[in-house]
Amino acid sequence: MIGLPRRGRKVVPQRTPGELDAMAAAGALVAAALKAVREAAAPGVSTLDLDQIAESVIREGGGIPSFLGYHGFPATICASVNDRVVHGIPTADEVLASGDLVSIDCGAILDDWHGDSAVTFGVGPLIDADQKLSDATRESMEAGIAAMVPGNRLTDVSHAIEAATHAASARYDRKFGIVAGYGGHGIGQEMHMDPFLPNEGSPGRGPYLEPGSVLAIEPMLTLGTSKTVILEDEWTVVTKDGSRAAHWEHTVAVTEDGPRILTLLHD
């Protein structure tokens, strides 16, 4: 049973064990869609092809693509290639080439619960800098996940992501930019819920994490600037300096037994 928060103590919204299981079912559908997309990504394949694959997986699994129609977004996935950070709109004209760095963000609704996850991968082998960028972003996400424990506060997760980014910069001898103004979020029966989760900041602030608290953790790093520009389509976010970007995301719950990733493939 989820414990009641102490009077006057704000807590990231909590879900019951049954609700977490329902979110994990939605998350598994997202994971299956991302796996299918990654396997299909190859030179000559369009981002629209990938979008259609993801939509088919989600609908065949009994779910609804949560991005499609969200505030007018026209697709099932966000396909962000090379200097695109997030919210790239898939098109038939955008054809993948060897060496492209691809970030795919995907969401699904199943039985009224949401799952949200993102991966970054290469079309064929990546150059060293791009591989390090993707690895650093994934490692930063994993550090944020590790901070999802009872008694921590929201910005303890933010600080863990930032610290891991700086550690990766030192380890790979390459400075990574933390994209400004974008971050993770609460999630449940809506895709985007309070609180907003920054990807950097001082620890020890914001609402507390308790068993059942759920956040979508999603660092976005670049090989250059932290500044971005939104294109004329009013969705696609690109790096201001044209440097490449990576994006990793999992939906994660706090439990007494440690963080529970809700966007993993089911066995």
Q: How many residues does the chain have?
A: 267
Is there a cis peptide before residue 195, judged by omega within 30 degrees of 0? yes
Burial of 170 (0-12, 13-18, 19+ CB in 10 A): exposed
Please give the C-alpha separations between residue 21 and each of 3, 84, 169, 255, 258, in angstroms, as whole numbers: 18, 33, 36, 12, 15
DSSP per-residue letters across 172-187: HT---EEPTT-EEEE-
Tell how many helices (H) and how many strands (E) occur in the chain. 4, 15
Mean pLDDT of 15-25: 98
Measured CA to CA, the distance from residue 252 to residue 229 in angstroms comes to 29
Residues 6+ apart with CB under 8 A from 236: 80, 84, 87, 88, 89, 230
Global pTM? 0.95
Residue 63 has pLDDT above 50, yes or no: yes
CA-wise closest residue to 122 among 82, 91, 167? 82
Strand, helix or coil for residue 252: strand
Tell me the pLDDT tens digit for each residue of 178-196. 999 999 999 999 999 999 9
Q: What SS3 class is residue 77?
A: strand
How do the domains of the chain map onto residue ranges?
Answer: 17-261
In the prediction, which pLDDT does 3 show? 40
Indicate the pairing of strand 260-261 with strand 101-110.
unpaired
**Nearest-angstrom CA–CA distance, 197 and 158:** 7
The model's pLDDT over 87-143, given as tens digits with 9 standing for 90+, comes to: 999 999 999 999 999 999 999 999 999 999 999 999 999 999 999 999 999 999 999
Summarize pLDDT for 140-170 with one digit per residue, the tens: 999 999 999 999 999 999 999 999 999 999 9
Fold exhibited by the domain 17-261: Creatine Amidinohydrolase (3.90.230)
